Amino acid sequence: MGFEIIEREEAYDVLIVGSGAGGGMAVKTLSDAGLRVALIEAGPDYDPADPEQQTQLKWPYQSPRRGAGTVRDIGEFTASLGGWKIEGEPYTNTKDTEFRWYRSRMIGGRTNHWGRISLRFGPDDFRRRSIDGLGDDWPITYDDVKPFYDRVDKMIGVFGTREGIYNEPDGFFLPPPKPRLHELLVQKAAARINIPVIPARLSVLTRPISKSRGVCFYCNQCNRGCSVYGDFSSSSVLIKPARKSGHVDVYTNAMVREVLTNAEGLATGVLYIDKTDLQEYRVRARVVVLAASACESARILLNSRSARFPNGVANSSGMVGRYLHDSTGAVRSAFIPQLMDRKRYNEDGVGGMHAYIPWWLDNKKLGFARGYHVELGGGMTMPMYGFGFGIQALNGKYPDKNGQQKPAGGYGLSWKEDVKRFYGATVSFAGRGESIALESNYCKIDPATVDKWGIPVLQFHYQWTDQELKQARHMHDTFEELIHQMGGVPNGEKPGESEQYGLAKPGAIIHEVGTTRMGNDPSRSVLNKYNQAHDCRNLFVVDGGPFVSQADKNPTWTILALSLRAAEYMIDQFRKKNL
Amino acid sequence: MDRRESLKILGIGSLQASLLLAGCSGRSGSAGQKAMPVELYGRTAQEAAYDASLHAETFFTAHERKTLAGICDWIIPADGETGGATAAGVVDFIEFIVKDQPPLQLPLRGGLGWMDITSRELYGRSFIAATRNEQAALLDKIAYPGKVEKDFLAGAGFFNQVRNLCTTGYFTSKIGLKDLGYMGNTPNAWDGAPEEVLKEYDVAYDPRYLHLYVRPEDRGTLMTWDDHQG
């Protein structure tokens, strides 16, 4: 580290920290309005069309580890530089907490590898306290956000169908792809027990929406980053065009340490450490926007301490870091004997499910307050590391082609035949639900630990409650019922109470939100309803932090809509000379 | 996106492209470019250096490697049309993966040793020096998890692990993917499961949705949402 801070001479209207969904939308919207923008990203540049970085359409044998997740947590072809563990960037947990924090350090952040599931929150999702007395209502309603969802749909593209389900609002949809075989089988089975299966809603271009992006060519690899920009990632769809405007300077490998404030308590810029030269730099701007991810933005605020803001900037309420919550998750797979010896054809499809189960029940009758949706998996997918593991648990249970029962295991040509017979005969069900946001679940600064840049790290404290456990148990009951209806055989054992009903560890679903929540009461919230800090009018947060509650929906579409809304509010405030 | 630009990015020929890139305007381009070198698969400099460092090390001894190759070719032998495990490069894959995932090293090394000890006890020579019949007789004692005698449990655990790795290595290889019949990882226009497959499983596309699904011929038509309401 150098002895002194190096001053960047450029002066910006807006400085944005982080380039994921929220940061990308802010960069695009503000630079389109002619404002001079600095984008500061903690990782390197990334473009899925760059042959040096491209993983799309690679074969498993092009990797010596056949795609195993040794280097990249979710598989090495995944367009994600980072993971739950990053060398030199630790975090800690309090006793009895196992929070896992997934970070992607690169332009576009986690939108490069995300599942593309693009669900609007519904009217009920903004007023849960009014419905069940738990958590809090948002300071805004669905009607406030709807026009922004509409514009995000058209700007970015999402396929789906208009279903008219009250709390699963319809949007401007591209035509969806036809379901795959296993999805049709799930649909048929689910219909018998009155569980709806509807076309998925994914931000994948089944038809073009502009000349600057290609259309989907059905390789099932959205998670690898699309080299024709046929799906949504912030890097390809928002930041790439914004950079062409000439109004945006991008600082990569720049790790922000704190937000700087002046004597009047206004933000003046940020301090960052350049990872390539280990020097500390100061950049100034009239407005600072944090979009570093819910937990990283909270970390920056908590680390921005001064005489005026002894608990960190924008934290007079003490709410920064609190109300941290992730989606719940549980998964079960099953073997479907009917699908043995399948006819082969290209079943890749888009990079995710073509059909899913939206929440369909009334919580008043269930003993837990919030719902979940179910994501479907299966099909004749590309073999990767792990393919064929454990077939010895199956091949003794089912007679071979000639009706002969064989002992489990084996070797030789009959073993090879068995592996081929079972290909594409597995389906999986993944529940993703809403947890209750609690003040008692939080991240805070761990004063005893710093990262390799010398910045104090986060410590997490997070406990699931009976609400989430009961919901996970219900998910597993649903999965078994569906598997039974399909004539399938569930894999493994159904997790019981001692396994927390298979409920994923907090952070594992990578939907963590709530750490800088919005609200009308400055003593109980960090931001106002325009994502603007109560304590500091030229400081905004536009990632998942502002969420009051996570619905049983994936957060990205709502992050995009709220960031667009906040950016336009900023533009308006600039015009009115309030910023 | 410009058609030629898309072609270049994808590195594919013009035949597939006419269908695939219906959405891209511009004049038609020439055929695709030459194939990418195998080692280029989107590594960062750090990741590439890590891969190189693993390639530079050798884990298995020549004898271990020979034994492993022998076992793998028993698990997935060549048949009339297709090469077996070693032809598919499985031994190289296992050599790499044990360096990449060090917890695999002890069970594999120990297991290979167990194979030789057991073979010497039974036949007076190492596994790879034993006859085909002797090798098969030993494998029969460890290859069926439901019927393993107590003295052979260690071998059975080892064999499970090798069988997993060998099966993965084979079916992720070029010849294994072909043998399996995997037909994806190539640009195409998905239009649902084939008609005869739908019939076979007695399922059909829901008539309420049929007109809503994307049609391959519309893939080039700019979406306008004219018939939508917000």
- Shortest CA distance to A460 belongs to which of A476, A442, A477? A442
* A416 contacts chain B (CB < 8 A): yes
* A410 contacts chain B (CB < 8 A): yes
The pLDDT > 90 percentage for chain B reads 78
Residue of A178, A387, A392 with shortest CB distance to B172: A387
Reported ipTM: the value is 0.95
- Shortest CA distance to A245 belongs to which of A49, A40, A27, A568? A27
* A150 contacts chain B (CB < 8 A): yes
Contact A57 B39 (CB under 8 A): no
Task: Give the residue with greater pLDDT, A402 vs B43.
Answer: B43
Nearest CA distance, A243 vs chain B (angstrom): 17
- B78 neighbourhood in chain A, CB within 8 Å: none
Residues 251-310 of A with CB under 8 A from B: none
H-helix segments, A216-263: 234, 240-244
- B67 falls within a domain: yes
Output the CA torsion sign for B171, B172, B174, B177. positive
pLDDT of A217 strictly over 70: yes
- B16 falls within a domain: no
- Shortest CA distance to B54 belongs to which of A74, A76, A81, A386? A76
- B215 falls within a domain: no
- A420 neighbourhood in chain B, CB within 8 Å: 179-181
The one-character DSSP state at A275 is: T
- Shortest CA distance to A121 belongs to which of A167, A66, A76? A167
pLDDT of B32 strictly over 90: no
Dump pLDDT digits (tens) for A327-378: 999 999 999 999 999 999 999 999 999 999 999 999 999 999 999 999 999 9
* Rounded Cα–Cα distance for residues B111 and B162 (Å): 9
Dump pLDDT digits (tens) for A400-422: 888 889 999 999 999 999 999 99
- B9 falls within a domain: no
Closest residue in B to A186 (Cα) is: B203
Confidence of residue B25 (pLDDT cuts 50, 70, 90): very low
Q: What is the pLDDT of residue A8?
A: 86
- B130 falls within a domain: yes
Residue identified by tokens 């499809």 is: A349
pLDDT of B21 strictly over 50: no
* Rounded Cα–Cα distance for residues B105 and B185 (Å): 32
Mean pLDDT of B19-23: 40
Q: Is B214 helix (H, G, I), strand (E, B) or coil?
A: coil
Residues 212-241 of A with CB under 8 A from B: 212-215, 217-221, 224, 227-229
The helix or strand, by DSSP H or E, that contains position A329, with its residue range, turns out to be: strand A328-335
Q: What is the pLDDT of residue A402?
A: 85
Q: What is the pLDDT of residue B229?
A: 56
- B180 neighbourhood in chain A, CB within 8 Å: 383, 419-420, 423
pLDDT of A194 strictly over 80: yes
pLDDT of B159 strictly over 90: yes
Contact A345 B193 (CB under 8 A): yes
A355-357/A328-335 β-pairing: unpaired
Residue ranges making up the domain that contains B126: 45-180
Contact B193 A347 (CB under 8 A): yes
Total domains in the fold of chain B: 1
* Rounded Cα–Cα distance for residues B20 and A27 (Å): 32
- B88 falls within a domain: yes
- B17 neighbourhood in chain A, CB within 8 Å: none
Closest residue in A to B50 (Cα) is: A71
Q: What is the pLDDT of residue B230?
A: 47
Residues 335-394 of A with CB under 8 A from B: 338, 343-350, 380-392
Dump pLDDT digits (tens) for B186-207: 999 999 999 999 999 999 999 9
pLDDT of A138 strictly over 50: yes
pLDDT of A28 strictly over 90: yes
Using alpha carbons only, give the angle A142, A292, A205 rounded to the nearest 5 degrees.
60
* Rounded Cα–Cα distance for residues A223 and A72 (Å): 12
* Rounded Cα–Cα distance for residues A344 and A278 (Å): 54
Contact B1 A228 (CB under 8 A): yes
CB-based contact A192:A185 (threshold 8 Å): no
> Average pLDDT of chain A?
97
* Rounded Cα–Cα distance for residues A535 and A318 (Å): 12
pLDDT of B27 strictly over 70: no
The first and second tokens of residue B54, run together, are 């693993």
Rg (CA), chain A: 24
CB-based contact A324:A512 (threshold 8 Å): yes
Using alpha carbons only, give the angle A136, A139, A142 rounded to the nearest 5 degrees.
100
pLDDT of A276 strictly over 60: yes
Q: What is the pLDDT of residue B15?
A: 39
Dump pLDDT digits (tens) for A225-237: 999 999 999 999 9
Q: Write phi, then psi, for A377 (nearest 5 degrees).
A: -130, 160
- Shortest CA distance to A270 belongs to which of A285, A292, A249? A285
* Rounded Cα–Cα distance for residues A82 and A74 (Å): 10
Beta strands in A149-195 (DSSP E): none
Q: What is the pLDDT of residue A1?
A: 54
Residue identified by tokens 């309090």 is: A94
Contact A217 B187 (CB under 8 A): yes
The one-character DSSP state at A210 is: S
Dump pLDDT digits (tens) for A304-328: 999 999 999 999 999 999 999 999 9
Dump pLDDT digits (tens) for B69-90: 999 999 999 998 899 999 999 9
CB-based contact B174:A61 (threshold 8 Å): yes
Nearest CA distance, B76 vs chain A (angstrom): 5
Residue of A71, A209, A217 with shortest CB distance to B20: A217
- B11 neighbourhood in chain A, CB within 8 Å: 57
CB pairs under 8 A between A and B: 278
pLDDT of B137 strictly over 90: yes
Nearest CA distance, B224 vs chain A (angstrom): 8
Q: What is the pLDDT of residue A400?
A: 84
pLDDT of B12 strictly over 60: no
- Shortest CA distance to A507 belongs to which of A115, A98, A118? A98
- B176 neighbourhood in chain A, CB within 8 Å: 383
Q: Write phi, then psi, for B168 (nearest 5 degrees).
A: -60, -45
The helix or strand, by DSSP H or E, that contains position A183, with its residue range, turns out to be: helix A181-192
Q: What is the pLDDT of residue A223?
A: 98
Residue identified by tokens 């004692």 is: B141
Residues 155-214 of A with CB under 8 A from B: 157, 159, 161-162, 171-181, 184-185, 187-188, 199, 205-214
* Rounded Cα–Cα distance for residues A357 and A411 (Å): 40
pLDDT of A3 strictly over 90: no
* Rounded Cα–Cα distance for residues B79 and A472 (Å): 47
The first and second tokens of residue B141, run together, are 């004692």
Dump pLDDT digits (tens) for A9-21: 788 999 999 999 9
Mean pLDDT of A158-184: 98
Interface mutation vs chain B, best among A105, A217, A423, most B CBs within 10 Å: A217
Residue of A77, A224, A389 with shortest CB distance to B164: A389
CB-based contact A383:A422 (threshold 8 Å): no
Closest residue in A to B184 (Cα) is: A346
Q: What is the pLDDT of residue B5?
A: 54
- B186 falls within a domain: no
* Rounded Cα–Cα distance for residues B106 and B110 (Å): 6
Mean pLDDT of B148-155: 97
pLDDT of B30 strictly over 60: no
- B217 falls within a domain: no
